[in-house]
Amino acid sequence: MSVRKEFERISKIEDEIGVLTLYLTTDASSPELNNGEWKIHLKNEIKEMKNYADKDANDDEKKALKKLLKQFEDRVSELQMDLHKGLVITASADGELWEERNLQVPVTTTLHWEKTPATKQFEAIIQKYPNVAVIALQKTDVRFIETELGDIKDEIAYSWDFESESWLDYNNDSPPGSRGSGQDHFERRFNENKHRWYKNIAPKIGKKIKDRGLEGAYLIGSSDLVQALEENMDKAHLSGVVYKNIGTKKSHEIVNEIYEDLI
């Protein structure tokens, strides 16, 4: 189930006693959180919610809320060594709902007790970090990275094969043939043909975007490569471009560059 469909399902759930929703920022790279300050923020949120339970809640609500708060504390403790940038947990008093998501994108720490899940912040995150493709260009190598909420959902690596004069998918085809008798020969041949070769792969990328129902694509690479592909793509598919030659980096690092530069 896609994140957006999961969100739509959860947002319709109601509980007469209550639903507890936690948004917890846990980004260790943040200067404000690198000493574990997120634990203090969580403790303060839970303390405030316990005060509400003691002072304002009826007996059934108080019992259910304190039980869920304890479960949330225990679960965060279990996950703390594996946390990324943000954590979302939502659970209902009747036990029918328990959803959690360990995120690669930041959130704002808040704790909500309502009749339905507090989904406003999650909806904003989905809008900000939707299901898209990041196309990383490195001359005769093109990487199609599908990402949503910072997670890498899939990756396809294409390489131009000089012998067959076509783009090969590393996952489905045999390795590409020789790239020529030397670097100078390769550079010359690439520069002479890059526009034709990138025109050749543009329909493949467009079809992947359409077939997967993605909300767009970001192109990242040197300016000449990005422009060579951009001019052959459906403009409706383009979400943005970044002129950085980082196609050999790890997938999550490439995605983070997009987030930092454009989002």
pLDDT at 107: 95
pLDDT at 232: 96
pLDDT at 33: 58
pLDDT at 77: 96
**Structural domains of the chain ordered from first start:** 3-128 (3.30.960.10), 132-262 (3.30.420)
Q: What one-character-per-residue DSSP string does the chain give?
A: --HHHHHHHHHT---SS-EEEEEEE--TTSTTTTTSHHHHHHHHHHHHHHHHHHHT--HHHHHHHHHHHHHHHHHHHHHGGG--SEEEEEEETTSS-EEEEEESS----EEEEESS---HHHHHHHHHS-SEEEEEEETTEEEEEEEETTEEEEEEEEEEETTTTEEEETTTSPPP----SSHHHHHHHHHHHHHHHHHHHHHHHHHHHHHTT-S-EEEEE-HHHHHHHHTTS-GGGEEEEEE---TTS-HHHHHHHHHHHH-
pLDDT at 53: 97
Instruction: Dump pLDDT digits (tens) for 30-50.
Output: 656 566 789 999 999 999 999
pLDDT at 35: 66
pTM: 0.86
Segments in the chain below pLDDT 70:
1, 28-35, 172-182
